[in-house]
Amino acid sequence: MCQDDVIEVLKANPGKEMYYLDILEKVDVNKSTLSHNLAALRKGNQINVRTETRMIAQKKREIYIYKWQ
């Protein structure tokens, strides 16, 4: 993930914390995988999240998880 991508996402979503997970392209990002990752990030806290998947260089898929403040 390049710095420009981070800045772009933060500008598009001001006032939100951003978490992201690098997942190799060969990994199937299904609902159970996504739920497991979200649960790990929540750490017991209830948060509203929105996810966005984008293909980037190095053939990785990144999942952006936004936490509303």
> Can you tell me which residue has the tokens 């984008």?
54
Task: Sort 65 into a burial class: Cβ within 10 Å, 0-12 / 13-18 / 19+.
Answer: buried
Taking only the tens place, the pLDDT of each residue in 37-67 is 555 555 544 434 444 444 444 344 445 554 4
Contacts 24+ apart (CB under 8 A), 9-15: 9/64, 13/66, 15/69
Taking only the tens place, the pLDDT of each residue in 4-33 is 554 455 555 555 555 554 433 333 444 555
Domains along the chain with CATH numbers: 3-68 (3.30.70)
pLDDT attached to residue 60: 44
Nearest to 39 by CA among 58, 62, 31: 31
